[in-house]
């Protein structure tokens, strides 16, 4: 379990990049929930946290070629990416964003 930041420090509907314990994470806040994906597009080595979040669809779009990834499953929804990115379990405890790394 790793504490990332205060939940209030995450902007609603935006992604933020974290690096810890050898993992690159894209952490997204939508409303009262936080989501964490591997911060590397499965198509090429592009940071997903630089992409655009769609809070209605729970997706983040890779800016390079436009693949969108489901924040809850890590699965790509549009080409050219075909492989999922890892998803990490995130919770909010005492106002802090906590992530579970494998």
Q: Applying CB under 6 A, which residues contact ligand FES?
A: 41, 43-44, 46, 62, 64-65, 67, 80-81
Q: Are strands 96-100 and 15-20 parallel, antiparallel or unpaired?
A: unpaired
Closer Cβ to ligand FES, 55 or 66, answer by number: 66
For the bound state, the minimum distance from the C-beta of residue 37 to ligand FES, rounded and expressed in Å, comes to 12
Nearest CA to 84 among 93, 96, 71, 97? 71
Toward ligand FES, which CB reaches closer, 23 or 65? 65
State the Cα–Cα distance between residues 57 and 69, nearest whole angstrom. Answer: 10
* Smallest distance from ligand FES to CB 67, Å: 4
Q: Residues in the chain, how many? A: 102
Find the shortest distance in angstroms from Cβ 30 to ligand FES. Answer: 21
Tokens 């890590």 belong to which residue?
A: 74
């Amino acid at each position: 379990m790793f504490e990332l930041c205060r939940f209030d420090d995450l902007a609603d509907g935006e992604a933020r990049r974290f690096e810890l314990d050898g993992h690159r994470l894209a952490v997204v806040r939508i409303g009262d929930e936080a989501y964490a994906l591997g911060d590397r597009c499965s198509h090429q080595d592009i940071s997903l946290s630089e992409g655009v979040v769609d809070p209605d669809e729970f997706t983040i779009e890779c800016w390079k070629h436009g693949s969108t990834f489901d924040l809850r499953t890590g699965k790509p929804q549009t080409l050219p990416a075909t492989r999922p990115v890892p998803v990490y379990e995130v919770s909010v405890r005492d106002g802090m964003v906590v992530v579970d790394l494998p």
